[in-house]
Structure 1
Amino acid sequence: MPTDIDSPLARRAVAFAFLVFIFGLTFWVLSPFLAALAWAGILAYATWPLYQRLSRRLAGRDTLCALLMTIAVVTMLLLPMIWVTSMLAGDVSAASAQLRLVATEGLPPLPPGVRSWPGGDWLAAQYARIQADPAWVRAQIDALGLTDAQRLKAVAGGVGRNVAKFALAVFALFFLFRHGASLLSQVRRVATRWLGGAARGYIHAVGVTVRAVVFGIVLTALAQGALAALGYWVAGVAAPVLWGVITALVALIPFVGPVVWIGLSLSLLAQGESQAALGLFLWGALVVSWVDNLIRPLVISGPTRIPFLLVFLGVLGGLQAFGLIGLFLGPALLAISVAIWREWLVRVESSV
């Protein structure tokens, strides 16, 4: 007579507990490296069409093809980073010296032209109130560490502090190029086994969304930062590379980038540089924002067939929940949710 442990329900419960235990420990072991592995997967997927073209030309030389693609991706990432970091170091030093001067001598006098602005008297009164309390200004600057040039350089050199993670991502990237097709095939088979034919649609939605985020958010933010830095340099803004990097980082959140160049335009206007302020404002409105307001929604919403609002919320929620990797994870999760919702709608319509 079978015991309770021999019943099908008990065996399934034991098997499920065993799987949870094994996969839980596996996740725990890999958890320190998940961010690096995720970045490697994103880079591999974004550059996969280039790998396929190279693979066709080097038929039968998969290892060489993977090595060449890894070197190309690393070079494409490192060279701009090294150049920007070297330029940024000088700008950071200059900005830090200026902040130290402010912390020591207090805020400079407000240009008289500000009072002619709409609400200029109120702005001047608020500025005068802050200017009259240099201890408070010093405390705010010291709290942020903005007078410590070494600390600012360390922040700007974040890539250097994460060399180990970057090396691991590069190492994983090589193997993803080398075995990516086989790994993707295995994932598709397992997902189809558990989720049925709808799994292919979910995987496709994730892939399209990740690629759209790479080109629609990351690359457009970099383009905005580069164009903005050019405008800052022409307008005579101090530390244009530093402000360009800040613009690129802020522009990762759609429609927030204008805050930087509008603020700098107002700063130039307050200093009496009306022509430079007007030129920078027009450059930002007609060139920099054109990338953000037109190209980004087309690149994202077009291939994904997901409302841009959901992608926007996915970016914000992903950054809040998962950090920088959430920039991709948030929209991808929403893409799966939208795919499931549309599948349910099709089933409901077909059953009516």
Structure 2
Amino acid sequence: MPTYTDSPLARRIVGFAFLVSIFGLTIWVLSPFLAALAWAGILAYVTWPLHQWVCRRMPGRDNLAALLMTLGVTATLLLPLVWVMFTVAADVVAASATLTQFAVHGLPPLPAGMRNWPGGAWLAEQYQRVQADPAWVHAQFDALGLTNTVALKSLAGGVGRNVAKFGLAVFALFFLYRHGVSVLAQFRGVATRWLGEAARGYIQAVGVTVRAVVFGIVLTALAQGTLAGLGYWVAGLAAPALWGVITALVSLIPFVGPVVWIGLSLTLLANGETGAALGLFLWGALVVSWVDNLIRPLVISGPTQIPFLLVFLGVLGGLHAFGLIGLFLGPVLLAVSVGIWREWLGHARPD
């Protein structure tokens, strides 16, 4: 008498359920490390031409070439990022202490001569009105969350987790340099088997998008850091080159770069250097910030053949959904989606 195990449909269902279970459990096991592995993959892909150049200079010494590349990427990119994270965390703690004092003792007096600015009388009047309502000021500081010790502990924990992810990314980066060709060949083979020849186009779209987004973000950050450093030097700030580097690293995240030059402008204003503070603020608002609107669309939209609006939304949505790695994952997902859409349009046109 035939049983259910003799049915081809039943065997396929059981086999499919088995595969889904195995791969699902595998993804669940690896889920804490997927962000770090994605970072390692992006860094390996972007720096792969340099790795090939190093391998050609050191034939037969692949392990040493992979080690040198890993150390180089760590020294030039990951260590500065970690340093910026700790610096920003320390600044947030200092700002929290300052805001706590303001919430308890009230706002400080305005700088002398502020009424002589264009619109300074109106600003002074509004400031005095706020100063006369300490309860409202205290409520606003509480709403910011920077006076909340629980929030500060959560910030410190987040910095620690990101440092651990970067460490794991460095560890994985060595093995990707060492075995990247084999891994990519296997991935292409599996993708082509399941998706057909269209998989090659999807893989190419991913590669082009990753490289364009990385270079677009990095070039924009370098330009903003250079221009901001020039403004810091003209304004007379101490260590303008250091602040320029900090601005460049912070500018890797969209809309975060202005925090640096706005904070330095406020520092100059608090020290009574009104002209330098106003000049630095205008330089940052009119020159530094607009670099983002010039370089990023040219570098990203051109190679990817994707409207910059989609790339921009991919960056912001990726940050919201995946954290810092979403800077690259968001545009990549949109690039693949656009590639599939265009392929469907190509098939639909003959009909």
- TM-score by shorter chain over 0.5: yes
* Closer, same or farther: CA 135–94 of 1 in aligned 2, 3 Å: same
Residues 39-68 of structure 1, C-alpha deviations (whole Å, 9 max, x = no match): 111111111111111112222222111111
CA contact 1:218–1:252 (8 Å) conserved in 2: no
How far apart in 2 are the matches of 1:72 and 1:130?
A: 51
Query: What is the CA distance between 1:336 and its match in structure 2?
Result: 0.3
Equivalent residue number for residue 107 of structure 2: 107
What is the letter of the counterpart of residue 47 of structure 2?
Answer: T
Equivalent residue number for residue 338 of structure 1: 338
CA contact 1:261–1:281 (8 Å) conserved in 2: yes
How far apart in 2 are the matches of 1:61 and 1:341?
A: 44
Query: What is the CA distance between 1:200 and its match in structure 2?
Result: 0.6
How far apart in 2 are the matches of 1:22 and 1:215?
A: 37
Which sits farther off after the overlay, 135-144 or 326-335?
A: 135-144
Answering whether residue 254 of structure 2 is matched by residue 253 of structure 1, we say yes
Query: What is the CA distance between 1:166 and its match in structure 2?
Result: 2.5
Equivalent residue number for residue 322 of structure 2: 322
CA contact 2:266–2:277 (8 Å) conserved in 1: yes
How far apart in 1 are the matches of 2:223 and 2:82?
A: 17
Query: What is the CA distance between 1:202 and its match in structure 2?
Result: 0.4
Which sits farther off after the overlay, 261-270 or 164-173?
A: 261-270
Equivalent residue number for residue 348 of structure 1: 348
CA contact 2:78–2:166 (8 Å) conserved in 1: no
How far apart in 2 are the matches of 1:58 and 1:97?
A: 53
Q: SS where residue 13 of structure 2 aligns?
A: helix
How far apart in 1 are the matches of 2:90 and 2:34?
A: 34
Query: What is the CA distance between 1:348 and its match in structure 2?
Result: 2.4
* Closer, same or farther: CA 155–73 of 1 in aligned 2, 3 Å: same
Equivalent residue number for residue 17 of structure 1: 17
TM-score, normalization by structure 1: 0.81
How far apart in 2 are the matches of 1:308 and 1:71?
A: 34
Structure 1 vs Structure 2 CA RMSD: 3.9
CA contact 2:213–2:328 (8 Å) conserved in 1: yes
Equivalent residue number for residue 62 of structure 2: 62
CA contact 1:297–1:308 (8 Å) conserved in 2: yes
Q: Which runs of 5+ in 1 are unaligned?
A: none
Which sits farther off after the overlay, 319-328 or 283-292?
A: 283-292
Which sits farther off after the overlay, 56-65 or 237-246?
A: 237-246
How far apart in 1 are the matches of 2:245 and 2:136?
A: 29
Answering whether residue 176 of structure 2 is matched by residue 179 of structure 1, we say no
What is the letter of the counterpart of residue 228 of structure 1?
Answer: A
How far apart in 2 are the matches of 1:144 and 1:284?
A: 24
Which sits farther off after the overlay, 39-48 or 174-183?
A: 39-48
Equivalent residue number for residue 27 of structure 2: 27
Query: What is the CA distance between 1:306 and its match in structure 2?
Result: 0.9
Query: What is the CA distance between 1:216 and its match in structure 2?
Result: 1.0
Query: What is the CA distance between 1:21 and its match in structure 2?
Result: 0.4
TM-score, normalization by structure 2: 0.81
* Closer, same or farther: CA 152–325 of 1 in aligned 2, 3 Å: same
Once the two structures are superposed, the pairs formed by residues 158-173 of structure 1 within 5 Å of their partners are: 162-173=162-173
Q: SS where residue 107 of structure 2 aligns?
A: coil
CA contact 1:247–1:257 (8 Å) conserved in 2: yes
What is the letter of the counterpart of residue 12 of structure 1?
Answer: R
Q: Which runs of 5+ in 2 are unaligned?
A: none
* Closer, same or farther: CA 194–29 of 1 in aligned 2, 3 Å: same
Which sits farther off after the overlay, 263-272 or 225-234?
A: 263-272
* Closer, same or farther: CA 239–110 of 1 in aligned 2, 3 Å: farther
* Closer, same or farther: CA 287–127 of 1 in aligned 2, 3 Å: closer
How far apart in 1 are the matches of 2:289 and 2:92?
A: 26
How far apart in 2 are the matches of 1:214 and 1:346?
A: 29
* Closer, same or farther: CA 57–239 of 1 in aligned 2, 3 Å: closer
CA contact 1:315–1:331 (8 Å) conserved in 2: yes
CA contact 2:84–2:249 (8 Å) conserved in 1: no
